[in-house]
Amino acid sequence: MTTDLIPVIDFSPFIGGDAVARAEVARQMRLASADWGFFYLSGCGMPADRLADAFSASKAFFALPDDDKQVLAWRNAESNRGYVGVRRERLDPSKPGDLKEAFNLAPCSSEGADNPWPAALPGFRSQMEAFLEACIITTNHVLEAFAVALNQPDDFFVRAHDRHHHVLRLLHYPPLPSGYVPQDGESRAGAHTDYGSITLLFQDDVGGLQVCTRKGQWVAAPPIPGTVVVNTGDLMHRWTNQEFCSTPHRVSLPSGAEHIDRYSIAFFGYPNHDAEIACIESCASESNPPRYAPISAGDHLLECLNSTY
C-alpha cells in the first residue's frame, strides 16, 4: 500500500512475528529508507489512549496565556527543553522564522536539565511522561528493525540510544488571521532534514507535511489514521553511509486550511551524546567506501541546534 508512493508498512509482524516475518518487515523498511527516507508504520504498538491524551495535553498547553508559556522558554542548545515561540525557530535559514510554536521535553535523566512543567496544568506532566515512555518503546522497536535490516546484532542501535537522549516536541501551527498574506517565503515549517537518527511523527487530520523526492519534487505526506510517520535523520544517514537517507521535508500552508489550527507531535530519537557515529561495516564496500568521518552524536546535535536558533 502506498500514498503518493510513500510506503505504508505493517509493523505488527515485526513486533509479534517469527524471524522470517521480522526479516521481511525489516527488508521493507530498508527499501523505504533508501528510496524515501520516509514511511508510514501501522501496527506500531502505540496505545491509542496515550496518543489521544498527549494531543489533548498539547492543545491545553498551547491554549495557555503567552506569559505562562514564556516562563518556560527554551534557553540553550545544551538543555534543548522549553517553549519556542512563533517565528523564533527558522528551520530553513534562507527563509523567515517558522509560523509555529513548540514545546520541547525529554525523558528524565540524571545527565541533563529538568523539564520545565507548566504550573497551570497539574496533569500535564503525568500525561507527557507516559507518552514519552511509549515513544521510547516504539523507537527501540524501529531501531531493532533497522539493525536486522543491516545484518547487525538486534540491539546494535538500541544500545547506542540507551541513555535516552531523545526529545519530544509538541507542535502547534496557529491559524493565520483573516486576510494575512505570508511574506518572503514564510511557511509553517521551512524545508529541513532532521538532526538525529530517527523521528516518529504523529499528525492531526489537517495535513501540510510534504516530502522531497529524489527528483526534487515535493509530495504530500497526508495523515493516515492508525499510523505513525517515521523518517531517518542526518546521523542515521551518516551511520549507514547514505543507505538510509535523510530527506528534506517541510510543512506547507495547505489551501483552505490556513485559518485552522494544526497540531502534531514529533519524537526525535538521538543517540547517546558520546556515541561515535561511524560508517557501519555492512554499509561500505570497496566501490562504496565510507563517505563521512566519524563524529560525536552530541557535537553534531549542538552544532545543528545552534544554527537553527
Query: Whole-angstrom Cα distance, residue 243 to residue 238?
Result: 9
Contact predicate 227/8, CB 8 Å:
yes
| Residue 110, pLDDT score | 44
Say if pTM beats, i.e. exceeds, 0.85: yes
For residues 217-251, b (16+ Cβ closer than 10 Å) or e, as one string? eebebbbbeebbbbbbbbbbbbbbbbbbbbbbbbb
Burial class of 74 by CB neighbour count within 10 A (0 to 12, 13 to 18, 19+): buried
DSSP 8-state secondary structure symbol assigned to residue 98: P
The number of folded domains in the chain is: 1
Domain carrying residue 289: 2-308
Query: Whole-angstrom Cα distance, residue 37 to residue 30?
Result: 9
Secondary structure class of 231 (helix, strand, coil)? strand
Contact predicate 65/153, CB 8 Å:
no
Contact predicate 294/183, CB 8 Å:
no
Contact predicate 165/270, CB 8 Å:
yes
Question: In the structure grid, which three cell numbers stand for residue 264, read together?
Answer: 502534531
Angle at 46 between CA 16 and CA 203, to 5 degrees: 135
Give the CB-side neighbour count of residue 188, counting CA atoms within 13 A.
Answer: 27
DSSP 8-state secondary structure symbol assigned to residue 264: E
Query: Whole-angstrom Cα distance, residue 268 to residue 101?
Result: 17
| CATH number of the domain where residue 150 is located | 2.60.120.330
pLDDT in tens, the chain (309 residues): 445 589 999 999 999 999 999 999 999 999 999 999 999 999 999 999 999 999 999 999 999 999 999 999 998 877 789 999 988 887 887 787 888 999 999 997 645 568 999 999 999 999 999 999 999 999 999 999 999 999 999 999 999 999 999 999 999 999 887 877 777 777 888 889 999 999 999 999 998 999 999 889 999 999 999 999 999 999 999 999 999 999 999 998 777 777 889 999 999 999 999 999 999 999 999 999 999 999 999 888 888 877 766
Among candidates 242, 97, 218, 111, which has minimal Cα distance to 164?
111
Among candidates 164, 61, 185, 67, which has minimal Cα distance to 117?
61
Query: Whole-angstrom Cα distance, residue 97 to residue 89?
Result: 6
Count of beta carbons in the 10 Å neighbourhood of residue 65: 8
| CA distances for 49 relative to 15, 130, 197, angstroms | 19, 11, 27
Element spanning 127, H or E? helix 124-149
Query: Whole-angstrom Cα distance, residue 41 to residue 306?
Result: 31
Query: Whole-angstrom Cα distance, residue 66 to residue 289?
Result: 51
Give 111's contacts (C-beta < 8 A, 6+ positions apart).
Answer: 163, 165, 273
